[in-house]
Structure 1
């Protein structure tokens, strides 16, 4: 039986990442385990009641964060009260904008940022409650649009 699911991020500078996540998203550090040389082997951050774990890179064990401009295979979704404000906060803290905040077909207003460590964050808030059938109808309609017209 599964009891919890945690995102576990690997970054090139965990100390700097902890500072960034505090400034960008209001995360608070729960604790960290640091090697004598300073490398952070494990840290836990509280994102409004949700724990995100992170560590420095350990290339000697094949543990590495996103590399260069390569798109990460996972996107983290933050469901917030005000996507515009949280995206602005992330940008002010050093994130880069991948997609400006806008109203989406699935009933959220949201945008996408990339943190300075290469991780992608989809930040959104609910603007309307939709049934799965209505979301599918809107998605189908969107996918039938020519690429130049799609948002």
Structure 2
């Protein structure tokens, strides 16, 4: 069965394939040597600016860039704009795909789109880094925002120092560094101790 471009719809389908969100470039997450392997997770983030997003995930988050795609299909002339990018992050394949600018014309309202178009992020990618403070500083300098008002990374009762951010392309991230190893059995007591500290700090604040 032939498919139009790399839209997920058979050629000749009554659905207008031009209005659908394109799948990642054909090299991404397919049965090609050196690509995603069995048991390895692959994540595709849909964005409006592939080049800027790939730069951010490489330079700020610390992903290793593998390649960028500038054409929809193999053998087609490359255009000036990156349409997809493939990166490696913490053992996973991180794919970045350009949002179809005509997604509003799709016959179904639930086709994937960028968080910018959807109005919100639908989840978080969680990654451990060596220095969460340094990564957070780079992220904010590059246009990311913290979900905790006016707060950077915080020490948690489960042993991490963590911060939740929204990247400049609308995707949510939890960036964290491990401070100590904590036993599961100790979590309840540590949670209560942290909650007590928070209450005490609020009580100590002037009215």
TM over 0.5: yes
Within the candidate set 55, 61, 67, 2:97 is matched to: 55
Q: How many residues align?
A: 146
Equivalent position SS for 2:122: coil
Asked if the contact 2:62/2:89 (under 8 Å) is kept, the reply is yes
Shift in Å, 1:3: 0.8
Asked if the contact 1:23/1:90 (under 8 Å) is kept, the reply is no
Equivalent position SS for 2:140: helix
For residues 75-99 of structure 1, the C-alpha deviation after alignment (integer angstroms, 9 at most, x for no partner) is 1111011111111111122211223
For residue 114 of structure 2, what is the aligned residue in structure 1? 65
Give the greater-gyration-radius structure (CA).
2
More strand by share: 1
Asked if the contact 2:45/2:95 (under 8 Å) is kept, the reply is yes
For residues 94-116 of structure 1, the C-alpha deviation after alignment (integer angstroms, 9 at most, x for no partner) is 21122321100111011122111
Gaps of 5+ in 2: 1-37, 72-77, 203-207
The structure 1 segments of at least 4 consecutive aligned residues displaced by more than 3 Å after TM superposition are: 36-39, 67-71, 136-146
For residue 137 of structure 2, what is the aligned residue in structure 1? 88
For residue 178 of structure 2, what is the aligned residue in structure 1? 126
For residue 53 of structure 2, what is the aligned residue in structure 1? 17
TM-score, length of structure 1 as denominator length: 0.79
Gaps of 5+ in 1: none
RMSD (Å) for aligned C-alpha atoms: 2.8
